[in-house]
Amino acid sequence: MLFNSVPFAIFLPAVFLVYWFVFERSLRLQNLFLLAASYFFYAWWDWRFLSLIVLSSAVDYGVGLALAASCDPRRRRLLLGLSLTANLGCLAFFKYFGFFVSSLVDAAAAVGIHLEPTTLRIVLPVGISFYTFQTLSYTLDIYRGRIEPTRDAVSFFAFVSFFPQLVAGPIERAASLLPQFERNRRFDFQEARDGARRILWGLFKKVVVADTCGRQVNIIFAASGELSGSTLLLGVFYFAFQIYCDFSGYSDVAIGSAKLLGIRLRDNFDLPYFSRDVAEFWRRWHISLSSWFRDYVYIPLGGNRHGKARQVANVLATFGLSGLWHGASWNFVVWGLLHGSYQIPSVLRGRRRPDRRVAAWSTALPRPGELARILATFALTLFAWIFFRAEDLDHALRYTAGMFTASLFGAPQFDHGVPLALIAGLLSAEWVQRRKAHPLQFDGLPTFLRWSVYLALSLAIIAFFGERRDFIYFQF
C-alpha cells in the first residue's frame, strides 16, 4: 500500500479511529491491532513475504532473550552470528544474489574463464533493507549491553513491523521505539495536528514536486545521448529534488502517521541541500541510515581511533557499503565511494564543524562564504547523483561526458517552467521555515491563512495526483 494512494487514504483514518476509539483502554490490544494493521499494510503488496518479516522478528526476539540469559561469550557470539546470518542471509539472497553472481561471472571472464551461471528470478521483497537493519540493531544493542531485551512478543513484533516505517524507514532503534510500544499512549491534540500537517507536507513533496521532477528525469536520462549539456545538468538537478522530495516526503508521511498514533519516529531529513560540507550533508540526509552505518559499521571498524589512514579507509568502506545497501549495482558503490572521497580532505585536516545548526541560523540570509560552501556541497552531491540515477556505470560515464561539453552553456531543451517553479517554491518554504521541524509549523499565522495554505496544498496534491508512482526508496 503506497502512502500516495487511495487505499492508504482509507486505511490510515480507519486505523486511527479503531486504534483510539476501540482499543484505547488496552495497551496490549492496541499493540495487537497495530501488528495486525501493519501486516495487512504489508500484505497489500504481497502476503507471501510476510513470512520473512515474521521470521526476522522471531529470530531476533528469541536471540535477544537468549543473549540476555547467557554470560558465555562464545555462546553469545554464536547467537549474534545466528541473527546476522538470518537477517543478512535473507538480504543477501533476495537483494544481492544476482549481483554477486553477475559480478563473479564478469570477474571470471576478465581472467579468461567463462562461467554459465544458473539465473534465478528473485523478487525483492519491499522494505527488506529497512526492517532487517532495524531488527538487527536490536540484537546488536543487546549483545553490546546497551539495551535489555523485551519479553513482550507483541510489542517486539509490532516494533519491527510498525507500518508507517516498515517499508522505507526511518530505521528506528529499539532503544527509542520499543519503549513506546511498552507504555500506555494517550491521544495528544498537538501531536496529532502536527502529524496531520506533516503528512500533508510529505504528500505535497512526493506527489507534486518529486513526481513532476521525475517525469523530466525519466525523459532526460532515457535520451541522454541526444541532449545538450545544459539539459543533462537540469536532468540531474531535477533528480536531486526528485529523490529528496520522494524520500523525505515518504519519511514525513511516516512520521506524521506515527504521530497520529501517539508514536514518535526520528527525523530522517533535515534540510540536506542547505549543508555547508558533505559531512554535514550526511548528518542531514537519510539520518537514520547514516547513523546506523556510523554506529554499526564505521565505529566497529575503528572509526577515527587508529590514525588518519585507517580513518580514511573506514570512511570509504562505510560509504561503499552504504552505496551497496542502496542497490545491488556497481554504480551505487561508486556513488557511495564518491561521497566517501569527498570527505577525505576534512578527515585529513581533522576539522570538525561544531555548529550543528542549519545555515544562517541567526540571520535571514547566508553570508557569501557560507553560500559558496552550500553551493559547492550541492554541486558535489549533484555530480554523485548521476551515478545513483544512471542505469549502470557506463551510462553514468556517458551522461557525465555528455554534460561537460560546450552545450553546457547553451539553452536547455524542453520546457522547464513548472518543475523549476515548484523547486523554487519548495526551497523558499524550507529556507523561511528552516528553524522549524517542517515548513507547516507556522502557528503564529492567523487561522484563515494557515487553513488557506493547507487547502492550497491539498488541492495541489489532488491536481498532481495522476498515474500511481512508487516511492524510489521502496526498491532499496
Which CB atom, from 245 or from 315, has the smaller least distance to another protein?
Answer: 245
Shortest reach from residue 214's CB to another protein, in Å: 16
Give 3-state DSSP helix, strand, coil % of the chain, rounded to 5: 70, 0, 30
- Restricting to residues 326-365, name those near another protein by CB under 8 A: none
Catalytic pick from 286, 326, 339, 438? Answer: 326
Residue 432 grid coordinates: 523561511
**Which listed range, 186-194, 225-233, 271-279, 389-397, lies at the site for another protein (CB under 8 A)?**
186-194
* CB atoms near residue 98 (< 10 Å): 17
Q: Which of 196, 297, 371, 429 binds another protein (CB under 8 A)?
A: 196
Three-state DSSP at 34 gives helix
Distance CA 288, CA 208 (A): 25
- Restricting to residues 4-33, name those near another protein by CB under 8 A: 6, 20
Distance CA 128, CA 87 (A): 9
Shortest reach from residue 190's CB to another protein, in Å: 10
Residue 453 near another protein by CB under 8 A: no
Residue 449 near another protein by CB under 8 A: no
- The one-letter amino acid at 335: W
Q: Which of 100, 353, 466, 470 binds another protein (CB under 8 A)?
A: 466
Residue 247 grid coordinates: 524520500
Which CB atom, from 81 or from 466, has the smaller least distance to another protein?
Answer: 466
Shortest reach from residue 48's CB to another protein, in Å: 25
Three-state DSSP at 338 gives helix
Residue 204 near another protein by CB under 8 A: no
Which CB atom, from 398 or from 450, has the smaller least distance to another protein?
Answer: 450
Distance CA 313, CA 305 (A): 12
Q: Check the CA dihedral 166-169-170-172 and report its sign.
A: positive
Which CB atom, from 185 or from 283, has the smaller least distance to another protein?
Answer: 185
Shortest reach from residue 201's CB to another protein, in Å: 15
Tell me whether residue 326 is one of the annotated catalytic residues: yes
User: What does each C-alpha distance from 115 to 98, 288, 315, 446 come to in angstroms?
Assistant: 14, 40, 34, 69
With a CB cutoff of 8 Å and minimum separation 6, the contacts of 452 are none
- The one-letter amino acid at 203: L
- Residues lying near another protein in the complex (CB under 8 A) are found at 6, 20, 187, 189, 192-193, 196, 451, 454-455, 458-459, 462-466
Residues classed as catalytic: 326
